[in-house]
Amino acid sequence: MVGETNLGKLLSSMSPDLLPDEYVFCTVKGKYGDFAELSPLASFSEAQGMTLVITKEAAISGKLSFESVFKAITLTIHSSLDAVGLTAAVSTKLAQNDISANVIAAYYHDHIFVQADKAEAAIEALNEFCS
């Protein structure tokens, strides 16, 4: 199945879904797989260390430090990795509402991590595209 590339259709049909868990971004030394017991939702290797996106609960139980707590919003439309402008439109809309947007694009969907205390406001702002 090919993902959607039309920005207008992406914005009007994205149906943002707020996931129930709270997530944190942690940095660790090690390699992929060393932290499988924490069930990372995502990971990324950088020169300074590996970033793990894990539940707040997993970070606490693993004694990992973190700075901020986020909620995840999945844009449920199947967006193409070749689509142009979706990340810019979403992050601009959230920025206009003083909400940070940490975006991870996966094969089927885009996922936005927003400050936990601003998650409902983020959903309201993103739903403005659909009306």
- The CATH number of the domain holding residue 47 is 3.30.2130.10
For the segment 83-91, the average pLDDT, to the nearest whole number, is 94
Q: Is residue 1 part of a domain?
A: no
Question: Which pLDDT belongs to residue 1?
Answer: 67
Question: Which pLDDT belongs to residue 95?
Answer: 97
Whole-structure pTM value = 0.92
Q: Is residue 47 part of a domain?
A: yes
For 104, the domain range is 7-130
Strand partners, 70: 23, 115
Q: Is residue 98 part of a domain?
A: yes
Q: Considering the chain, what percentage of its residues have pLDDT values greater than 70?
A: 98
pLDDT, tens only, 4-43: 897 888 999 999 999 999 999 999 998 888 899 999 999 9
Q: How many domains does the chain have?
A: 1
